[in-house]
Amino acid sequence: MVRLRNISDHDIELEDLGMQLLHPSEEVELENQRKNQAAESEQVIDYIVDHVLLVIDNDGTEVTDSSRAVDVLKGYNQKLLSTFDNKLFVQNTPRPIGTFTTFSSQGDDLNNPHDVGNGQKFQLDHKIGDPLEQYVYGDFNIMCNKTYAQEGYGIWETANFDQLLIEIVPQVTVYAPGTNTYFDLYNGYLVVPAAGNGHINIEPQNMRLVEMPYSIDEPTKRQSPAFWDADYDDNTHQFYNIRPNFTASGQFNMFTVELVFERIVNYIILGSKSMNLKTNDVAELGHGMRIRMIFKTNAPDHDWKMACMFMFNRQYSRAF
C-alpha cells in the first residue's frame, strides 16, 4: 500500500486528507479514496515538492523524485518491471496491473460492500404477456474493489430476431423543488452546487454519488467534469464531508436521470444461439455506475430467454 511519511522536523497538517497533524517520521497509509484525495491535493503535492512528505510505493520503495512521486499517487506511469538480469516484462493483455480477470453473470450485493457476484443475475426469461421491453441492471461494489469491464458474452433460446441493448448509466439521485438551497439542476439531469440560491433540495439519504474515473487515454484527466467531492470511510463504508467543487475538478457527480454514459451494445439482433463480443480494450467503472441491459421482444410476442456474461478485471475476484 502507498504511504506518506513526514520527513520534516515538525508537525504538519493534512487537512485535505482529513488529518489534523502528522508528526515527524509518522506515516499514513493511502487506501482507495484517500490515495485519490492525496493525488488531487495541492497541499500534499506542495509538501512532496518541498521535501516535507516522502511517498513510499507499494513495494516499500522510497520515491525521492517529486514528479515520480506524484505519478505513484495518481496510479499511472508505474516503473517498468524487469527480471533480476534486467529483462523487461512485457504484458500483452489489457488487464490493469493489480487486478484479476473474472467472468460473471451477476452483479454485486450493494448491501455488503465486500461482496463480489451475489447481486442481480444478468438474465431474462420472457413469457408471452410480459412487457415487450424489459430492463435488467448490474450494480457493483467499486469503492473498495477497482473494476474494469472488458468483453461480453450471451446465449439465448427461441429468440425471434429480438434485440439487446447494453449501456452504462448512473444511479439516480432523487430531489424535490426548493428555494435558497445549495443544489441546482443543470440541463434537467445534472446536480450542480449553488451558493444558497439553488432551486432543488436533496436529502442526504437520497444522494447517489457517481464517480468519474480517470481516462484510460489521458490518465491525468477524469472522464468528465465533476462537481462534488467526498471522503469515504473504508471501515464504515460510508461517504462523509460531501462538498461542492465549483471548479468542476472534483471526483463525483450526481444525476437525476439515467443519462447514458456509454452504449456498449447497440441493438444487436438475436438470430443465432450465442454471441462473443471480443475486444482488447478495457473501461473503468466508477462508483455508482450501472450496467443496464434492455431486452426488446420482437412481435408477435413469444416466449424466449437469454443470459449474459461479462469479463471483468477486478482488484478482488471474490468476497473479501
Mean pLDDT, residues 42-61 taken together = 87
pLDDT at 78 over 60: no
Kind and range of the H or E element at 121?
none
Cell of 127: 413469457
How many secondary structure helices (H) and strands (E) does the chain include?
A: 3, 22
Half-sphere exposure of 43 (CA within 13 A, CB side): 11
Q: Is 68 exposed, middle or buried (0-12, 13-18, 19+ CB in 10 A)?
A: middle
pLDDT category at 32 given cuts 50, 70, 90 is: low
Which residue type sits at 71? D
Strand ranges in 147-227 using DSSP code E only, listed in sequence order: 147-157, 162-170, 176-186, 190-201, 210-211
- Which of these, 276, 280, 285, lies nearest to 309 by C-alpha position? 276
Show the CA angle centred on residue 290, arms to residues 174 and 270, nearest 5°: 125
pLDDT at 10 over 60: yes
Taking the CA atoms of residue 8, residue 13, residue 18 and residue 20 in that order, the dihedral angle to the nearest 10 degrees is 110
The answer to whether 138 and 107 have CB atoms below 8 angstroms apart is yes
Who contacts 300 (Cβ-Cβ below 8 Å, separation ≥6)?
none
Q: What is the pLDDT of residues 143-186, one digit of tens each?
A: 999 999 999 999 999 999 999 999 999 999 999 999 999 999 99
Provide the b/e sequence for 187-208 (b: ≥16 CB within 10 Å).
Answer: eeebbbbbeeebebebeeeebb
What's the chain's Rg over C-alpha atoms? 22
The answer to whether 287 and 209 have CB atoms below 8 angstroms apart is yes
Average pLDDT of the chain is 90
C-alpha span between 29 and 123 (Å, rounded): 41
DSSP label at residue 280: S
The answer to whether 26 and 3 have CB atoms below 8 angstroms apart is no
> In this predicted structure, what is the pLDDT of residue 219?
73
C-alpha span between 96 and 15 (Å, rounded): 31
Q: What are the structural domains, with CATH classification, of the chain? A: 3-74 (no CATH), 100-171+259-314 (2.60.120), 176-235+245-254 (no CATH)
DSSP label at residue 80: P
C-alpha span between 118 and 114 (Å, rounded): 11
- Which of these, 214, 91, 102, lies nearest to 149 by C-alpha position? 102
C-alpha span between 286 and 32 (Å, rounded): 12
Per cent of the chain over pLDDT 90 is: 65
> In this predicted structure, what is the pLDDT of residue 40?
81
What pTM, to 2 d.p., does this model score? 0.73
pLDDT category at 82 given cuts 50, 70, 90 is: low
pLDDT at 238 over 90: yes
- Which of these, 26, 24, 28, 27, lies nearest to 9 by C-alpha position? 24
